[in-house]
Chain A
Amino acid sequence: MAGAKEIRTKIASIKNTQKITSAMEMVAAAKMRKAQERKEATAPYAEKMKSVIGHLSHAHPEYKHSFMIEREVKRVGYIVISSDRGLCGGLNNNLFRQLARNIKVQQESGIEVEFCTIGKKALGFFRRYGGRVMAEATQLGEAPRIEDLIGVVKVMLDAYENGEIDRIYIAYNHFVNTMTQNPTVEQLVPIAGESEEELKHHWDYIYEPDSKEVLDGLLTRYIESLTYQGVVENGACEQSARMVAMKSASDNAGELIDELQLIYNKARQAAITQEISEIVSGAAAV
């Protein structure tokens, strides 16, 4: 009965793998729910902030912060948000492909590019393909904290303020639903698309200590919160992509096991048939 034992061990090992992938699937499903809640929790802060900034720029049309002024673009910065871990299908690769297309367009029009990376996969990507990485943050974990992002965002904003870069983009995966994640590259600074909506009331505020300082702090925090939102959203994408990938891996393992089981049964059957025919022919010979 040659091969039967090998097939049996193979089936056992695939079963083990299947156990792992289905466990990962369940873990990812649980984490995905939490990540989605976290993503929704970030929305009110950014909304409030946007409305305060809207008020301020409305009340002070003469004062334009440098984060709001478009200027000629010679060099751009990208904040690239990826996951720390793999085994999440094509999530990171899809984002990098979108990004690579974007970079190509920039480079063709003679614009230089620089990067800040968040997450190990993005860092690994630029390590392989080059690209000036100004700052990085990894190991943010399941519940990223805004402290971990302050450094990266500040490096970019400082470079912007000093005129080293003229525009900042953010690249992350946009969460549509569990099955769909859209790689997205958006402009972060200068703050794009100021809302033109008419405010119902407008009044001038008293500023303490003064309007410039307040607006400064506000805009920095706004950009940080947008980056944070990107990170949290990418986290939700990571978990759902992993869940889907692990589900299909478990399904594949199941199919493989069925096939192998069939082969095993056939081999076993053939061995028995052969044995019987040997006995019968032996008996006939007597």
Chain B
Amino acid sequence: MAMTIHVDIVSAEGAIHSGLAEMVYAPAVMGELGIAPRHTPLVTQLKPGEIRVDEGDGKEIQHFFVSGGILEIQPHVVTVLADTAIRAADLDEAAALEAKRRAEDALAGQQADFEHAKAQAELAEAAAQLRAIERLRKK
């Protein structure tokens, strides 16, 4: 059998692919990479595109779409940390602003500092209620 390299493709929401391959192609930011076994160690960012995994032995090439991420190459292991979201600095910025705006809208007109005593008192009350319910249940 030809020489192979282990490929792991994972995203934050779950593992996507794991297996051996003779050749892997990935869309790096500096241009497409072809990775054969014993490739030199390399870490790079990926841009949106297609990862192709060639398992050899006449098997069909597998295709995976990634919307970016990070690629790490060790001599016998390729790890793709795939993004599931389209990422770009301005998109992230927009998401951050949106999250801020929502918080401001939701909290309009409230007092500025955390009122510890009030929170503590009401939480204690809630806990007491829960305990009372427990007791009632045991009866």
Contact = CB atoms under 8 A, between A and B. Distances in A.
Interface of A: 38, 41-42, 44-46, 48-49, 52, 55-56, 89-90, 93, 96-97, 100, 103-104, 107, 113, 116-117, 123, 125-138, 145-147, 150-152, 154-155, 158, 201, 203-209, 211, 213-214, 217-218, 221, 224-225, 228, 248, 251-252
B81 interface: yes
B70 interface: yes
A224 B12 contact: yes
B2 interface: no
B100 A228 contact: no
B96 to A, nearest CB: 4
A208 B96 contact: no
B102 interface: yes
A150 B92 contact: yes
B4 interface: no
B123 A214 contact: no
A206 B40 contact: yes
B61 interface: no
Given A107-B116, A126-B114, A207 B43 contact: yes
What's the dominant secondary structure at chain B's contact region?
A: mixed
Nearest to B118: A129
Interface in B70-128: 70, 72, 74, 79, 81, 83-85, 87, 92-100, 102-103, 106-107, 110-116, 118-120, 122-123, 126-127
B137 interface: yes
If over half of A's interface residues share one DSSP class (helix, strand or loop), that class is named, otherwise mixed; here it is: helix
Contacts of A135: 96, 99-100, 102-103
Nearest to B72: A52
B28 interface: yes
A137 B101 CA distance: 10
Nearest to B71: A208
B14 interface: yes
Nearest to A204: B41
A251 B81 CA distance: 47
A121 to B, nearest CB: 12
Contacts of A116: 99, 103
Contacts of A104: 116, 120
B102 A206 contact: no
Contacts of B3: none
B122 to A, nearest CB: 8
B44 interface: yes
A280 B103 CA distance: 76
A206 B116 contact: no
Nearest to A226: B12
A245 to B, nearest CB: 10
A145 B116 contact: no
A93 B92 contact: no
A228 B45 contact: no
A211 B44 CA distance: 9
Nearest to B124: A97
B12 A90 contact: no
B42 interface: yes
Nearest to B42: A206
A48 B9 CA distance: 10
A214 B115 contact: no
B48 to A, nearest CB: 14
Given A206-B42, A208-B30, A209-B30, A52 B79 contact: yes
A112 B88 CA distance: 32
